A and B are shown apart, each in its own frame.
Chain A
Amino acid sequence: MDAERTYTELALRARAALASVNASPGVAKPDPILLAENVRRNFGGVTAVDVQHLEVQRGSITALIGPNGAGKTTLFNLLTGFDTPEAGEWMFDSKNLKKVVAHKTASLGMVRTFQLTKSLTKLSVIENMKLGATHQMGEKWWNGLLPFRYRKQEAMIERRADELLKRFKLDHMRDQYAGTLSGGQRKLLEMARALMTNPRLVMLDEPMAGVNPALKQSLNEHIRGLRDDGMTVLFVEHDMDMVHDISDWVVVMAEGRIIAEGTPEQISANPAVIEAYLGTHQGKSLLEEENA
């Protein structure tokens, strides 16, 4: 599959940059857009996240994988301000995000989606999209009372929303309630809505969960399209085929820590990863285990 794929210049540059990076946990990248240092979060006595060092290369698609409970979503929450860690520093585009609240990260150019899709069911698809645009005049209530103050901007936003809907093949659902969409369409809508914020870093939490195989292919293409448009993508995923297919770099988490990093090829051959996913006794039959 890889052979017949074409890459934009941008993607090629990111891939080339990553090719020279040492495949070890917490390794430094040539041009990181996101950087986390000693980020730690405890839930009671359990350490959910304890990341020594993590860098995400600008312009790349980076996959974050790991078994259930590895702390992937918690790390997402911490980085985007939806949760506060006990310790640590993290930076987006060399801006320290430690004191930045969740809603501010979006206007800085860092947007996330959620594992459980959050489509706003009683709003129409197009309203969902228009909500995503940042810096809207009409979002001040006193301007809201004066339609002429926001009409022009609203028309521009609507045009952009329509373009994105077309790209994500949701234009035929434009005026339907988002609640009437199927699970896969909601994933698409959520991704498209996130793009309305004009992000530089898109963080997708399990974009493929509950999506049928046919739609997975097109979702894959959309994610690759984000990179080709110059965005950086960081995504959490369990579907290893997909991870192998589209990511430039893979970060593996287990028990809150980063245990491996590397290109998809390096990761699939990494014994530590296989161990984390399948347990220490992989390869042995149950009978052997009992006898041992």
Chain B
Amino acid sequence: MDIIKILENTISAFFGIDAAYFALAAIGLNIQFGYTGLLNFGQSAFMACGAYGLGMTSQYFGVGMWWGILIGLAFVIILGLLVGIPTLRLRADYLAIVTIATAEIVRLVVRSVRFKEYFGGSDGINSFSKTFRDLSPFDPGAQYGVRPFQYSGYSLWTMIVGWSLVIVFSVLVYLLMKSPWGRVIKAIREDEDAVRSLGKNVYSYKMQSLILGGVVGMFSGMIFALDRGSVQPDNYSRDVTFYVLTALVLGGVAKVSGSVIGPMMFWGLYVFSDNFLRELTKDRPFEVFGVGIIQKSQVGPVNYMLIGLGLMLLMTFRPQGVFGSKEEMALDGR
């Protein structure tokens, strides 16, 4: 077993592009879910808004790539209003139901044959990231850095942009949540009626939170699309939302640090467990006293089982996540 390789890959995953785009999505979700208490189960739809905003610049609109940000913003606002107007007046559960359905609708629409002209159908869109690639100061073919921090030129470029965005949005969210706006948002999470009785337009604040969180999610989708160099409809399925949610809870909700470190740990653990199992079964199935435990072809599913088990243990023994506040947790239901 090559322990060095496992550790190298794990450390590399901590800072990899997957962690970066998850962190962005988690920061957005944290505004909605962690601070405002909005159960948004459709963050992947907001990520798709960003990815398709970029993709459609070349696929349909035929304009420069930077217009993608504006198009993505327009998509996010339209989606936020569509989802928010009917549900934000209702109890939190309804938003959860509607957002999970909306995300699926978005995915099915963009992959449909009927709208292939606009969204590229199930093939997605591939030819939009040239402007971004040309901006890269690195040689895309060359390897940079020393192991375990060794990345190709293009990966390094997207990572730098991705993590820069993570830092920018972390600072912005931190400022927002320190401000009176953040105070209203957190108060809404605790009790809407109390906030309403003090003269705040709760509905409007919830809408702002939904859309602001969606905008951060949009950048996550953009980074993901730029890294892959393509926009694929099935990259924005429910799984993504739930992994992001998982990563956020792992780090600790309603904490900026939690929303950044959580995704890093999520990917670190994922890659560690995956690599470990692969090394374990590389030459022959893993056996204990002659009883077969796991073989090569089972690594994928077993990895998810282990992650699920780990999360259950986390929820049992540290429900506030790694960075969450135990004090706040103890106040629940009082």
Contacts and interface: CB of A to CB of B under 8 A. Distances in A.
B331 A197 contact: no
A194 B331 contact: no
Interface stretch (B50-58, B193-201, B237-245): B193-201
A177 B181 contact: no
B179 A138 contact: yes
B198 A131 contact: yes
A249 B204 CA distance: 39
Interface string B190-229: 1101111111111000001000100000000000000000
A119 B197 CA distance: 12
B183 A80 contact: no
Given A103-B201, A141-B181, A114 B194 contact: yes
A132 B189 CA distance: 16
Contact of A113 (B178, B197, B201): B197
Nearest to B201: A103
A122 B186 CA distance: 8
A58 interface: no
Nearest to B181: A144
A80 to B, nearest CB: 7
Given A131-B195, A177-B327, A177-B328, A143 B179 contact: yes
A102 B200 CA distance: 9
Interface in A264-285: none
Given A122-B190, A123-B190, A177-B327, A150 B195 contact: no
B76 to A, nearest CB: 15
A119 to B, nearest CB: 8
A193 B202 CA distance: 17
Contacts of B328: 122, 177
Central interface residue in A102, A104, A137, A196, by most chain B CB within 10 Å: A102
Interface string A192-203: 011011000000
B172 interface: yes
Given A106-B197, A120-B187, A138 B181 contact: yes
Nearest to A149: B179
Nearest to A176: B327
Contacts of B331: 121-122, 177, 179-180
Contact of B180 (A104, A111, A154, A194): A154
Interface in A110-145: 111-114, 118-123, 127-128, 130-132, 134, 136-141, 143-145
A82 B196 CA distance: 9
B334 A121 contact: yes
Contact of B187 (A123, A137, A145): A123
A164 to B, nearest CB: 14
Contacts of B178: 147
Given A103-B201, A134-B199, A123 B191 contact: no
A100 to B, nearest CB: 11
B176 interface: yes
Q: Chain B contact residues (Cβ within 8 angstroms of A): what range?
A: 20 to 34
Interface string B291-334: 00000000000000000000000000000000000011001001
Main secondary structure, interface of A, reads helix
Nearest to B171: A145
Nearest to B198: A132
Interface in B280-300: none
Given A118-B191, A141-B176, A102 B196 contact: yes
Interface in A72-91: 80, 82
A173 B190 CA distance: 19
Contacts of A123: 183, 186-187, 190
Contacts of A177: 327-328, 331
Interface in A187-227: 190, 193-194, 196-197
A68 interface: no
B182 interface: yes
A145 B186 contact: no
A107 interface: yes
B88 interface: no
A139 B179 CA distance: 7
Interface of A: 80, 82, 102-107, 111-114, 118-123, 127-128, 130-132, 134, 136-141, 143-145, 147, 150, 154, 177, 179-180, 190, 193-194, 196-197
Return the 5 tightest CB-CB contacts between A and B, nearest first. A106-B199, A144-B179, A138-B180, A179-B331, A144-B181
23 contacts: A82-B196, A82-B197, A102-B197, A103-B201, A104-B199, A111-B198, A114-B193, A120-B186, A120-B187, A121-B190, A131-B184, A132-B198, A134-B198, A139-B184, A141-B179, A141-B208, A144-B181, A145-B179, A150-B179, A154-B180, A180-B331, A196-B198, A197-B198
